[in-house]
Amino acid sequence: MISIICKREMSVYHAYHMVQAFFPSAKLQCRVEEEASHYVGVWADGKEILLLSEDIRTGESDREYKQRMERKLYDALSDYKGKKLAWGKLSGVRPTKLAMKKMEEGMEKEEFLRWFYETHRVGEEKGRLAWEISEREAKILEKLDTQKGYSLYVGIPFCPTVCSYCSFGSGTWETWESRSDAYLDALCRELEFLGRACKEKRLNTIYIGGGTPTALHARQLKRLLEVIDRQFSQEFLLEYTVEAGRPDSITGEKLKLLKEHPVTRISINPQTMQQRTLDLVGRRHTVRQVEEAFLQAREEGFDNINMDLILGLPGEEPKDVTDTMRQVERLGPDSLTVHALAIKRAAKLSVQDFGAGEEAFARKMEEMTRISAEAARSMGLHPYYLYRQKNIAGNFENVGYAKVDKAGIYNILIMEEKQSIVAAGAGASTKILLKEAVEQKGKMTNLIRIENSKAIDVYMDRVEEMLARKEEWL
């Protein structure tokens, strides 16, 4: 057990997540003691690890003070553990957003690299990766209308099975099939509302995700696609993505439907090409089914196919990643999204399932990350977007790689928040970008978030309430 005592409320969040990054498998307790003599104190099983004294400087703002003390905490933990974190003291999910902001302010790359380290302790390798991706993102975002343009997300919260590492609010198709038409009723009701509310705007991207959208029966998928066609003009559409993620949910009939409507980009996601791992994490399909689904999609004319992989799955070693990348390269996807495993509280899998110590696992993740990056580049795929998650294995990142002109535009938008995204379905999150900032929860912001209920049954029963919340802003 690790105990963390903070003097100020504002330091709790970052102190907790920074200590967790250095001690990923430990149980943490964190509390505020305003009378404490230190800024942050950390104890492991009652033994003092570090005491960081307050260091107040005249004229320093709260933000400057917080940033400086976070650096001191990071340096102290780094010295204690004898290691540095891949992304320094950053706990946010969007490091490229920082690079994009500095680029827009006119900062040059070498100056940014110095600033990134001095401010956030991010080393040169990750700093260069963030800058390289931001340059690519900036070129892609030039195509978009950020004022009148918007994107649409449609969520299908059903999967053939729920993987042991998954924390999304998805239900198994076996459990929800009997109520899936009722879910579509609610979803189509929301889509019809959004279509009317956004009719004066220009739709740039559509993304149907989940869950596994192709878990739907062909007739249900047809109904969904037809509703989208009727309600949303595709005059300004640049990209239309459907996650056909699980190969055991893909059929020729469904692929033909997607091609007819017309979907421009699909994702076929093996996560790994190691059969024993697929069996272990509860994905009830074979490596052969992945290959068959991919080749069938090519035969139907899909020329923009993404594949998702996860690094750090239980039992996998760097040699397994090398073999997976070899099999993926033989198929030749147009883009590849490589995730570092992130274990959330809602997942069946836990850090205790891995056996290896923290240091050994971090070294293994570093090697796997290097292998995947080199393999992607050898396929002619270049990094174009990046994000991080809490509890991500080895404090690494998720990176999207793509061929020229095959980058997922929606993926960039969801990270950089340069355009409104209206979202329908259980667990869907709408982000509305305003021209002028408004006050929300005591802070000024120009980005309004509106969340749908993650619970499928609650979404179906109370969809009208969720429409009312969106109507206020749309």
Tens-digit pLDDT profile for residues 213-237:
999 999 999 999 999 999 999 999 9
The model's confidence at residue 21, banded by pLDDT at 50, 70 and 90, is: confident
Lowest mean pLDDT among 43-47, 55-59, 148-152, 315-319: 55-59
- Residue 347 — pLDDT band, cuts 50, 70, 90? very low
Please state, in angstroms and rounded to a whole number, the distance separating the CA atoms of residues 280 and 106: 49
Whether the pLDDT of residue 350 is over 80: the answer is no
Question: Does residue 89 have a pLDDT over 70?
Answer: yes
Mean per-residue pLDDT over the chain, rounded: 91
pTM of the full structure: 0.91
pLDDT recorded at residue 356:
56
pLDDT value of residue 345: 47
Spatial separation of the C-alpha atoms in residues 474 and 466, rounded to whole Å? 12
Q: How confident is the model at residue 93 (pLDDT cuts 50, 70, 90)?
A: confident
DSSP letters spanning 137-189: HHHHHTTS-TTTEEEEEEEE-EESS--TT--SS-EEHHHHGGGHHHHHHHHHH
In the chain, the percentage of residues whose pLDDT exceeds 70 is 96
Residue 448 makes CB contacts below 8 A (sequence gap 6+) with 430, 431, 432, 434, 438, 440, 473
pLDDT at position 440:
83
Residue 254, pLDDT > 80, answer yes
Q: CA-CA distance, 393 to 359, in Å (whole number)?
A: 11
Q: Report the pLDDT averaged over residues 255-277.
A: 95
Residue 8 has pLDDT above 70, yes or no: yes
What is Dmax (Cα atoms) for the chain? 69
Lowest mean per-residue pLDDT among 74-83, 163-172, 416-425, 461-470: 163-172
Amino acid present at 46: G
pLDDT tens for 179-203 read 999 999 999 999 999 999 999 999 9
pLDDT at position 363 over 90 = no
CA angle 268, 367, 312 (to 5 degrees): 50
Residue 37, pLDDT score: 85
Residue 432 CA neighbour count, 13 Å, CB half: 18
Average pLDDT over residues 411-418: 93
In this prediction, residue 113 has a pLDDT band, given cuts at 50, 70 and 90, of: very high
Residue 434: closest CA among 454, 420, 413, 422: 420
Asked if pLDDT for residue 71 goes beyond 80, the answer is yes
Confidence of residue 464 (pLDDT cuts 50, 70, 90): very high
